[in-house]
Amino acid sequence: MDDLDRRILAALQHDCAIALDALGEKVGLSRNACWRRVKALEARGIIRRRVALLAPEKLGLGLSVFIMVRTDRHAADWLEQFRKATRDMPEILGAYRMSGDLDYLIRARVADVAAYDALYQRLIERISLADVSASFVMEEIKETTELPL
């Protein structure tokens, strides 16, 4: 990956709907050369997909929550159940297996505390958890999907 690829990726991370002509002009390539590089980046799996970023508060999802999970089970079947449960719940945007004292961290978007409680109730119906605590985001200081290049 060279500097041109990095510039293409930076531009696409900022706006994936940019026209190829504008993208080429921005990075200093012809439309066709730019298109070939984008296709090569997709073929190599560097560009996984292109998405639209939505405004959660305009969709009634104004509360961001981090859910800290500890379990007393560390078996493959439990982990598969946990994976399935978290993947099936659309409010859950990310679920991560962690090192240290915390076993799992879940990032979710819900309307309010009552909606979080409903999510929590559905989660504990599906999977046995030893300890669950949640922290609600008071202010989003930085939220981005753009990776450093």
Q: How many beta carbons lie within 10 A of that of residue 9, not counting itself?
A: 20
What is the model's pLDDT at position 4?
Answer: 96
The structural architecture, per CATH, of the domain 56-136 is 2-Layer Sandwich (3.30)
Report d(CA 92, CA 105) in Å as an integer.
11
What is the model's pLDDT at position 124?
Answer: 95
Positions in the chain whose pLDDT score sits under 50:
none
Report d(CA 32, CA 20) in Å as an integer.
8
Q: What is the gyration radius of the CA atoms in the chain, in angstroms?
A: 20
Query: What burial letters (b/e) apply to 101-137, b meaning 16+ CB within 10 Å?
Result: eebbebebbbbeeebbeebbeebeeebebeeeebeee
What is the model's pLDDT at position 127?
Answer: 95
Domain boundaries, given as residue ranges, for the chain: 3-43, 56-136
What is the model's pLDDT at position 40?
Answer: 98
What is the model's pLDDT at position 58?
Answer: 98
What is the model's pLDDT at position 73?
Answer: 87
Q: Does domain 3-43 have CATH number 3.30.565.10?
A: no
In this structure, the chain runs to a length of 149
